[in-house]
Chains A and B, each alone.
Chain A
Amino acid sequence: MDAHIRIEGVTFYRGDRMIFDDISMEIPRGQITAIMGPSGTGKTTLLRLIGGQLVPNAGHVYVDGQDVAALSRSELYTLRKRMGMLFQSGALLTDLSVFENVAFPLREHTRMGEDMLRDMVLMKLESVGLRGAHALMPAELSGGMARRVALARSIALDPDLIMYDEPFTGLDPITMATIVTLIRRLNDAVGITSLLVSHDIHETLSIADVVYLISEGKVVERGTPDTLSNSNSAWVKQFLQGLPDGPVPFHYPAPSLAEDFLGQRDA
């Protein structure tokens, strides 16, 4: 299988805190890869490393065989034009209408005429089912609609990779199902490589081809949704079944009760 993104031995620190510890992954081309893990394990950081917004302390991130951290500025920007990114909040530009938001990357990076631009924008909006909403402003959209418009915007330049940052968080069941279908359909229709960061187990397992579970800077498990569901690892079980206590403790690390109780008066 041809790897679209290869992460090799990446170590990343944020301040003194280790986020990734010598992590390696392969994101196959044309498939949906999901990265799952508890909150705060650096899933979004991983997307930023791939997008070249952050540089790893050690190791390499290769997209299409190019080392992202070694690219020049203009090469990086060229690369980013071929990567779409869907943000959790949608991140639409608040002072532009839905139409202009989707038109924005086209206006910035292409010299297409107004007629063609209009066709392209409406086509992208149609694909997320919001052609009728093109005149609305972002403030008038519901959370799910904003995310769909943002999806239309991130596929405006027909990227060959699209990264979804928590696409299912905070949506009602119907909207969630819509987004799930959209991601699947985009992937199947044009063969986009999809990289999905999420902790919504059910939805993610239902569409992913490959799943990586990461925790505390390491890949805990890798496999298809089926192999993961049948995994014997206690950690995987705890995560997939959503048990509050297990290998991942319920309590935030604290001094032992005795230490707090007896105090370290002489320390």
Chain B
Amino acid sequence: MARQQQSPQQQFTIAYQRILLMGEWTALGLHTDTFAALAQPFPDDLCKIDGSGLTALDAAGARTILDLRQRLQQSAKTPVTLIGFAANQEHLLALVAEHEFLLPNPPPRLGLVAQIGRATQETGADLLAYLAFVGNTTGQFLRWLARPRSIRLRAILAETQLAGVNALFIVGLLSFLMGIVIAYQGGGPLDEYGANIFIVDLVGLTILREIAPLVTAIIVAGRTGSAYTAQIGAMRITEEVDALRSLAIDPIEILVLPKLLAMLVVLPLLITFADFAGLAGGILVSDVMFGVGLQNYIERLPQTFYMPSSFWVGLIKAPVFALIITSIGCHQGFRVSGGASSVGYATTRSVVQSIFLVIVVDAVFSVVFNRLDL
């Protein structure tokens, strides 16, 4: 329905073998009702379209009029003529008539197999580009090791501040809450069997082994990995990355390596911090609701099975997660090209891919540690 006019007036009338057009025949002025009315069958004897009542005409109106004439012509015996148009309107009609384009044929639809093939090919190319990036970064890292003087300590410290110190609050808060949830959900059933004391095992094991590393990695991927992509992506668009190359500075050396080293330092520390925050949440709930206090934890936690290996198992994952998050974040940043919209797109991809990989790797770790009986 045309919204702009509450009571759509009629835009044409039929009388004496002619159609009299009225009002604004423009892209904005033509009503939906008019199009509906034009689609109705017309009497056979119409032979004139009268434009003398028009107050405005544009290309869309002209197109509509020409289409109408063509339709009438097919059923009428005599040719349909256009009368009463002003000179400039006739000019417009002639121009529009000159440029009649039919809809182009739609591009051929790909079959299911072709679509799967194309997606596979794209994923393969993506993977290859990623491997090339990882190789490049490794080479640059070795070059750093060969000349330790060229390591950018200031940049590493700045990145540590951004990725680590500034993330403490959110990592701590969420781990604390996870500790509360685990103790609260797990404590109930244990309490029913009078096995309250096993809350210590439950909270200790889940927090140290899985929750703290995973929650930390996911937060860091969303918070820092995406920031890496956005920063490098924006620099790609402003040609800053090219400018670095033209100044004979390797962009990976200045943009990626400090981030990578900072992340390798920061993530284990953040996970340890998350361990303590999560345990604190667990202890709080089990003390208040199930009568298992801090004292019980201190006594029992070191004796539970899989201790203290649980702590180390959680921590071993940290460098792997750090490599995943940084390399994907930076790689997606370097893949940005074209306009600003591709920065947003790359950021989304970076977060999705790194969280996906973190969880997959975590699952692999679980199986491996299980086999190793850790």
Interface residues of B (CB under 8 A from A): 100-102, 104-105, 235, 238-240, 242-243, 245-250
Query: With the chains together, A91 CA to B250 CA distance in Å?
Result: 16
Contact (A261, B243) CB under 8 Å given A77-B248, A89-B238, A108-B249: no
Contact (A83, B105) CB under 8 Å given A91-B238, A91-B239: no
Q: Would A104 and B101 count as touching, CB distance under 8 A?
A: no
Q: Would B242 and A263 count as touching, CB distance under 8 A?
A: no
Query: With the chains together, A94 CA to B241 CA distance in Å?
Result: 12
Other-chain contact of A104, B105, B242, B247 (Cβ < 8 Å)? B247
Q: Which chain A residues numbered 92 to 112 have a C-beta less than 8 Å away from chain B?
A: 92-94, 104-105, 108-109
Q: A77-B248, A91-B239 are in contact. List 7 more A-B contacts (CB 8 A).
A: A80-B245, A85-B242, A87-B239, A87-B242, A105-B248, A154-B247, A262-B102
Name the residue in B101, B102, B240 with the highest tally of chain A Cβ atoms < 10 Å from its Cβ: B240
Query: With the chains together, A262 CA to B105 CA distance in Å?
Result: 11
Q: Which residue of A lies closest to B150 (CB)?
A: A108
Q: Which residue of A lies closest to B250 (CB)?
A: A77
Q: Would A88 and B246 count as touching, CB distance under 8 A?
A: no
Q: Would B101 and A109 count as touching, CB distance under 8 A?
A: no
Other-chain contact of B248, A87, A89, A109, A263 (Cβ < 8 Å)? A109
Other-chain contact of B105, A51, A94, A154, A267 (Cβ < 8 Å)? A267
Could you show 28 A-B contacts with beta carbons less than 8 Å apart? Answer: A53-B245, A78-B248, A80-B245, A81-B248, A85-B243, A87-B239, A87-B243, A87-B246, A89-B238, A89-B239, A91-B238, A91-B243, A92-B240, A92-B243, A93-B240, A93-B243, A105-B248, A105-B249, A108-B249, A150-B243, A154-B246, A154-B247, A257-B101, A260-B104, A261-B102, A262-B102, A263-B102, A264-B105
Query: With the chains together, A84 CA to B240 CA distance in Å?
Result: 14
Closest Cβ of chain B to A9, distance in Å, is 25
Q: Which residue of A lies closest to B241 (CB)?
A: A91
Q: Mark A52-94, 1 if CB is under 8 A from B, else 0.
A: 0100000000000000000000000110110111011101111
B residues less than 8 Å from A263 (CB atoms): 102, 105
Q: Which residue of B lies closest to A52 (CB)?
A: B245
A residues less than 8 Å from B250 (CB atoms): 77
Q: Mark A253-267, 1 if CB is under 8 A from B, else 0.
A: 000010011111101
B residues less than 8 Å from A153 (CB atoms): 247
Closest Cβ of chain B to A88, distance in Å, is 7
Q: Would B242 and A53 count as touching, CB distance under 8 A?
A: yes
Query: With the chains together, A261 CA to B104 CA distance in Å?
Result: 9
Contact (A83, B246) CB under 8 Å given A261-B101, A263-B102, A263-B105: yes
Q: Which residue of A lies closest to B99 (CB)?
A: A257
Interface size grouping (class) on chain A:
20 to 34
Closest 8 A-B residue pairs measured CB to CB? A91-B243, A85-B246, A91-B239, A80-B248, A77-B248, A87-B239, A81-B248, A105-B247
Other-chain contact of B242, A91, A105, A262 (Cβ < 8 Å)? A91
Q: Which residue of B lies closest to A265 (CB)?
A: B105
Q: Which residue of A lies closest to B103 (CB)?
A: A263
Other-chain contact of B240, A83, A94, A264 (Cβ < 8 Å)? A94
Interface residues of A (CB under 8 A from B): 51, 53, 77-78, 80-81, 83-85, 87-89, 91-94, 104-105, 108-109, 150, 153-154, 257, 260-265, 267
Closest Cβ of chain A to B359, distance in Å, is 33
Q: Which residue of B lies closest to A48 (CB)?
A: B242
Query: With the chains together, A260 CA to B99 CA distance in Å?
Result: 11
Q: Which residue of B lies closest to A93 (CB)?
A: B240
Closest Cβ of chain A to B152, distance in Å, is 10
Query: With the chains together, A81 CA to B250 CA distance in Å?
Result: 12
B residues less than 8 Å from A88 (CB atoms): 239
Query: With the chains together, A93 CA to B232 CA distance in Å?
Result: 12
A residues less than 8 Å from B247 (CB atoms): 80, 104-105, 108, 153-154
A residues less than 8 Å from B235 (CB atoms): 94
Closest Cβ of chain A to B214, distance in Å, is 33
Query: With the chains together, A94 CA to B239 CA distance in Å?
Result: 11
A residues less than 8 Å from B100 (CB atoms): 261
Q: Which residue of B lies closest to A154 (CB)?
A: B246
B residues less than 8 Å from A94 (CB atoms): 235, 238, 240
Closest Cβ of chain A to B127, distance in Å, is 19
Closest Cβ of chain B to A173, distance in Å, is 25
B residues less than 8 Å from A154 (CB atoms): 246-247
Query: With the chains together, A105 CA to B254 CA distance in Å?
Result: 13
Q: Which residue of B lies closest to A150 (CB)?
A: B243
A residues less than 8 Å from B245 (CB atoms): 51, 53, 80
A residues less than 8 Å from B240 (CB atoms): 91-94
A residues less than 8 Å from B249 (CB atoms): 105, 108
B residues less than 8 Å from A265 (CB atoms): 105
Closest Cβ of chain B to A124, distance in Å, is 14
